[in-house]
Amino acid sequence: MSTLQDEIKRLKDSLKQERDELRLQLNLAKAEVRDEWEDLEKEWDKFVGKLQQAGQEAGQTGKEISETAKKMGEELRSGYQRIKDRLK
């Protein structure tokens, strides 16, 4: 596995853990926060799809897809952090 692939896997694992923790806290959340969560869930699905696509592609195209997936993951992390901050 390449360094970029390792980095993306670590990012995915970390995001999944954050996502699972937030899901537990959402039972008490306001509707506004739930709406933001639903938007992030759609982005999560896109992120996972992009990772699967990257795993199936090879060469330059695969690298571009991996870079896109990494960026999407970072955006998800930022969104999860916003929700965490609002739940405090």
- Give residue-wise pLDDT tens across range 7-57: 888 999 999 999 998 888 887 777 778 888 899 999 999 988 888 877 676
pLDDT at 61 over 70: no
45 vs 42: CA distance, rounded Å: 5
Closest CA to 66 of 19, 74, 20: 74
Across the range 56-77, mean pLDDT stands at: 78
pLDDT band at 75 (very low <50, low <70, confident <90, very high): very high
Reported pTM: 0.67
pLDDT band at 70 (very low <50, low <70, confident <90, very high): confident
